[in-house]
Amino acid sequence: MIVRPIMENLTTVRRLGSIEYRVFEDSDDIHDLINTEVRRELEADLESMGWDLRDDALLNSLPKRKWRLEVVNINDVRLNPLILNSSDVKTGRKFAERLEERRSELRRALEARRAVIWPIVLLREENLLVDGYCRHSTLQEMGLPETYAYIGTSIMR
């Protein structure tokens, strides 16, 4: 679950089915969120897996995208097998194991209506999940057909 207390005053809470989401609706606000908070979290995750971030195509593409909030079909989201099969280089802990633990915790909170979640983050061209593996898998496990997503479309610069 992503917690961003500094930026929450700019967000709106929306409900989709039984789930509440904290969302930015303005493209510039979404762009800022993706290129600060989400990027920082993604860099930390990739570094823990031993990836070299200097020339990472995904990270370098984030600021060159136009971002918008959309509702997407959960089953249309593509997962990155490199991430799903990765491990923390220091601890040896598998990503899938951590995801399972986090998913059960998030599911309990969502079912008890104690959690407001952020949209997942996708790349438009591949429908590839960039951020939100726990949210995505939890909602999918709960049988929910749709979720809010920040969709990044590549723009020429």
Local confidence band at 139 (pLDDT 50, 70, 90 cut-offs): very high
C-beta separation of 108 from 102 below 8 A: no
pLDDT at 157: 53
Residues in the chain: 157
Measured distance CA(150)–CA(152) in Å, rounded: 7
Q: Sketch the domain layout of the chain as residue ranges.
A: 8-154
Measured distance CA(136)–CA(121) in Å, rounded: 10
Give yes or no for residue 156 having a pLDDT over 80: no
Average pLDDT, the chain: 89
Two structure tokens written together for 52: 């070299």
Q: In the chain, pLDDT over 90 holds for what percent of residues? A: 66
pTM, full prediction:
0.88
Nearest residue to 95 via CA among 26, 46, 56, 59: 46
Nearest residue to 6 via CA among 25, 20, 19, 24: 24
Measured distance CA(86)–CA(90) in Å, rounded: 12
